[in-house]
Homo-oligomer: A and B are copies of this chain.
Amino acid sequence: MNPHGPQCRGVTGVLQRVGDKWSMLTINALAEGPRRFSELRRSIEGISQRMLTLTLRGLERDGLVTRTVTPSIPPRVDYELTKLGQSLQQPVGELARWAIDHLTEIQASQQRFDVVADAAREEGKLSRE
């Protein structure tokens, strides 16, 4: 694959979408069926109303979710994964599996790295005095 062709940019774009702080959590929350806005807000720990709105807009723009307004009082808005959105779940699921399988390995590496990095900084501090 040409690393600088339009395809590569597209792939990078998709990676950035799934790497977005809230997108995958949102898709995950929609995995088992349609949910309304306030349900999503409650089920996605720590998300602000603003970010949920923005995330859903982005997903809707990409064709991954649909937005359905029911003009009742109070108003009601439901979100649902499209077929495209559902089809994303498999490849992301495999990545998730990889992450889970290697999580302890990654965390161990991070700890080793941080210990060494801290020691190096102390070293530099001492020799500069």
Interface residues of A (CB under 8 A from B): 1, 3-4, 7-8, 10-21, 24-25, 28-29, 43, 45, 60-63, 84, 87-88, 90-92, 94-100, 102-103, 105-110, 113-114
Contact = CB atoms under 8 A, between A and B. Distances in A.
A9 to B, nearest CB: 9
Q: How many copies of the chain does the oligomer comprise?
A: 2
A83 B114 CA distance: 21
Give me the 9 closest cross-chain CB pairs, A-B, nearest first.
A19-B19, A63-B109, A14-B99, A10-B103, A61-B113, A11-B99, A91-B95, A91-B98, A91-B94
Given A63-B109, A113-B60, A96 B11 contact: yes
Contact of A95 (B92, B99, B108): B92
Contacts of A24: 11-12, 15
23 contacts: A3-B45, A10-B99, A10-B106, A11-B95, A11-B96, A12-B21, A13-B99, A14-B95, A15-B24, A15-B92, A15-B99, A18-B19, A18-B95, A19-B19, A19-B20, A61-B110, A62-B110, A63-B109, A84-B105, A84-B106, A91-B91, A91-B97, A95-B95
